[in-house]
Chains A and B, each alone.
Chain A
Amino acid sequence: MKALDIKLTRDLKRLWAQSLAVALVMACGVATLILAIGSYRSLDETRSAYYERYRFAHLFATATRAPRHLLRRIEQIPGVARADARVVEHVILDIPGMAEPASGLAVSLPRDLTGTLNRLYMRAGRLPEPDRPGEAVIGANFAKAHGFRAGSTLHAVVAGKRRRLTVVGLAMSPEFIYALGPGDLVPDDKRFGIIWMSETELEALADQKSSFNSLSIALLPGTNAEPVLAGIDETLKPYGGTGAYARKDQFSHAFLDGELTQLSAMARIIPPVFLLVSAFLINMILSRLIALEREQIGLMKALGYGSWTVAWHYLKLVMLIAIVGILIGFAAGTWLGQGMTRIYAQFFSFPFLIFAGGVDVYAISAGISIASAVAGAVKALWGVISLPPAVAMQPPAPPVYRGSFAARLGITRLFSQLTVMAIRYLSRWPVRSFVTTLGVSFAVALLVVAMFASGSINHMVETIFYQSDRQDATITFADAKGPDALLSVRQMPGVMRVEAFRTLSVRITHGQLSRRLAITGKPHDAALSRVLDLGLKPVRLPENGVAVSERVATLLELKPGDLVEVELLEAGRGKVQVPVTDVIQSYLGLVVFMRIEELNRLAGLGPRVSGAHISADASQIGALYDVIKSTPALSSIALQTKSREKFREIIEKNIMISTVVYTILAVIIAFGVVYNSARIQFSERARELASLRVLGFSRAEVSRVLLLEMLVMVVLAQPLGWAIGYGITWSVVEELASDQFRIPFVVERSTLAIASLIVLAAAALSALLVHRRVNRLDLIRALKTRE
């Protein structure tokens, strides 16, 4: 090995703790980058492959009851490659051994399967035989949750008829990668499942003989969807068509899109923080190393080594640190990626999902890390290159300290000389002190970002389940009923309060902006499912006008007082201009409310209800469940308590995982920055500190000078870290917001306090390590060494 390389390895051995700290910070950047890009890719590529292989449709439409012969007309719309008609029905499921009713979606399977869209991936068993009634294929995740196998039985209430179903197969479909039951915030495989039945049987049950209520369309490559959508709408209009929509509005697809957006947001926000901090640490360590080795650099140049050769020697050190960081990052990123894939398996129903890092992801993250390391090193290396050999041979001139303004006022006289030393040092190197402070504040910020979620979710649960939707259950009728339907609900066992609602598909237009969504009509004095404003105060719905959620207001650029056009896509297709009266709080979906009487007037079918929110006596809940399971008029039921419990269970577990991971990362940063800067201050001033010891100051007093400097920087870093944490959290919340889901921006004070405590603890630990070095300071040698 060459002499310079020997020096390199020995330098690295001597600086191992500091180098490892930097390498770990860099590893965090690499790992999070691999995690984000790799997960993005896994999800995106798996989804595409799944869509491709199982022929996921491009467009979708629903109708009330459309005759089958329309299919030919639809297939003639230019651009349509294939159209499949089906019957899809909401069903209530009665599962042996489960007290509460479950909900499901029954989907018909065509007689002739050749070339059909949305094909099933069969996990086990076979498809139902058309001539054998009562056979069904059920969703694989639903089956797993209940232990169903081929041969198991369950009861379903389909379009008011109770049927015994025998499971003949388990399947997955590209349509239901992500499937939510009514009222649920996260998938609950126990209480919601997909059921595929033969077309013959479902058509008969749902009274859809020779007709359909659901349409799937594949487009020819390169087709513009808009005219096709318009063509479908035109065709289905007389049959209760509620507006055709493309993949981006298909629930499962849109949710996956949301997840992909989150992953790319994560790739943009989190890794840069780490890479920035590691670049800064490299700059700090290298600058100091070079300052300490000034004479050695001069010597190498005097011996005839070229400037670039010497710079390359130091750059190699940086590269080695980076390579260690990258390798650790590779391992951690792959491990985290596999963990992420396991988390996805809980939410998504994929026949296959593997963490697809890909060589280029690793290459890109390695490249970016090397680049950031080199960027951090550039300034210090320039110092190496520009150092003239002769100047390098002389000791550096003592840094110029100036009396500060405070000193002129005599304020410094209030402090001891040791305190003045510390203050002068900080003000002598304002940029460096600030950058160190900034580094520590990044650790605080990262912790705030890591931990805000639990506060946010608490706030969300409190708002949704205790402030806004306070009902015990929500039942939905198979189709809109007259007001007397509420009477039978009121008579169910244990029901204490009933609150009707009406839901209709609408298109809301404001100027050029337009959105297809569901509008909900509610009584103006709703007390169970309440409408809350942005300050979470109950809103009384106006006689004339709509209340829109914040997300809708943003999408359509609405503010109170604006006029919007509400066009019904079903039931009478009325169109009306109404003012926006309130912008309201809602974390889920695109929400628009109006008074139920207003909505019914617009629909023109007299007073109608889609379903009801109910509160019930807990002691009679079992009896209520039994009645609901056998009530033919119901198509779905949502149970608030069950939804809340499932949400808490899943989200808390996942938040726990990510909080732990980010906390570890933040501690690495905090420790890396504080330990490195303390070590550097120490080595820089070993001589000065040794002189103090020789003059008779105690170890504790000498440590105090160093620790005071650190303390000032660490304390100043706290408010700065909170502010940066707020900023990053805000941008995370903004980036994560999708049409389906929005996390409230809530940073609790306890989160800030815990973040600070963790960083202060990491700082205290590094202080302790440095203090031990002060204790071991060799007075004679420190004074002999010519710095």
Chain B
Amino acid sequence: MPEEIFVVEDITKIYRTGEVEVHALRNASATLYEGEMAVMLGPSGSGKSTFLNIIGGLDTATSGRVMFRGLDLTGFSQHQLTLFRRDRVGFVFQFYNLIPSLTARENVALVTEISRNPLKPEEALELVGLGARIDHFPAQLSGGEQQRVAIARAIAKRPEVLLCDEPTGALDSKTGVLVLEALSTINEELGTTTAVITHNAGIRQMAHRVFYFADGTVSRVVVNKKRLEPAQIEW
């Protein structure tokens, strides 16, 4: 049995905007294991992104507890959360979020400069199949290429977990597959625990386990008997 990496117990997140209270999460609980590929599915507003933001240390829960390798994230200060993100977590976002004024290599270097034991930016870009385009600016890259730069940037620090929020959301199926292949390679070769949020139900087939979100909570978890390669996924 692999070790537990995240143990999430009963977290609730309430946003207040003016007079309106929004329950983004209601008593959500889940456990993620070392080295697994988890896919999170659910309609928009079901709380997947909030869940991911909280376990990634981007946001804090209103109540409940998040344990990471036996550490209680809920008790972390802002500074501790910054260090947690810096050293242990890699993020990939739907809109890539590259710095437009930096080249592919420099975008990756942004992370490697502050990591303890990083890959070289070139190596990381090689891993996602972009070795030839390292000196291009984001505006000179296609959407899929930009997303792969973002993945390279996320994994260059050798994170313990890789959290991806709709990584293929803005891509067509062909480039989407390239991105998923990059994620899968990293999961298998580096053993990085990976959580992927998606709208695309097809993607669930490449996961070890699938978490279904509804109304701010994890409604069920399904273990995949048979996993598919990204190329085999139907969009």
Binding site for B on A (CB under 8 A): 2-4, 6-7, 10-11, 14, 295-296, 298-307, 388-391, 393, 397, 786
Contact = CB atoms under 8 A, between A and B. Distances in A.
Interface stretch (B92-100, B177-185, B205-213): B92-100
A306 B91 contact: no
A397 B18 CA distance: 12
B13 to A, nearest CB: 10
Contacts of A11: 101
B9 to A, nearest CB: 20
Contacts of A3: 102, 106-107, 109-110, 113
Contact of A390 (B59, B78, B157): B59
B99 to A, nearest CB: 5
A4 B110 contact: yes
Contact of B99 (A7, A301, A302, A304): A7
A304 B58 contact: no
Contacts of A306: 79, 82
B187 to A, nearest CB: 20
Contact of B86 (A6, A298, A305): A305
A296 B82 contact: no
6 contacts: A3-B102, A10-B102, A295-B95, A307-B82, A388-B58, A389-B85
B207 to A, nearest CB: 23
Interface of B: 17, 50, 53, 56, 58-59, 78-79, 82-87, 89, 91, 93, 95, 97, 99, 101-102, 106-107, 109-111, 113-115, 153, 157, 165
Nearest to B139: A781
A302 B85 CA distance: 6
Contacts of B86: 303-305
B109 A390 contact: no
Given A7-B101, A10-B102, A390 B53 contact: yes
B79 to A, nearest CB: 7
B95 A786 contact: yes
A296 B93 CA distance: 12
Contact of B97 (A6, A299, A305): A299
Contacts of B114: 303-305
A401 to B, nearest CB: 15
A503 to B, nearest CB: 76
Given A303-B153, A304-B89, A390-B53, 20 more contacts: A3-B102, A6-B106, A14-B101, A295-B97, A299-B93, A299-B97, A302-B56, A303-B91, A303-B111, A304-B83, A304-B87, A304-B111, A304-B157, A305-B82, A305-B86, A306-B79, A306-B82, A307-B82, A393-B58, A786-B95
B102 A6 contact: yes
Contact of B78 (A4, A302, A307): A307
Nearest to A303: B111
B120 to A, nearest CB: 14
B90 to A, nearest CB: 9
B60 to A, nearest CB: 9
A296 B79 contact: no
A298 B82 CA distance: 12
Contacts of B157: 304
Contacts of A305: 82, 86, 114
Contacts of B153: 303
A299 B79 contact: no
Contacts of B165: 393
A296 B99 contact: yes
Nearest to B18: A400
Contacts of A302: 56, 58, 85, 91
B142 to A, nearest CB: 13
Nearest to B91: A302
Contacts of A295: 95, 97
A70 B106 CA distance: 89
Contacts of B83: 304
Question: Which of A300, A305, A390 has the most C-beta atoms of chain B within 10 angstroms of its own C-beta?
Answer: A390
A385 to B, nearest CB: 10
Nearest to A295: B97
A383 to B, nearest CB: 16
Question: Which of A10, A11, A304, A305 has the most C-beta atoms of chain B within 10 angstroms of its own C-beta?
Answer: A304
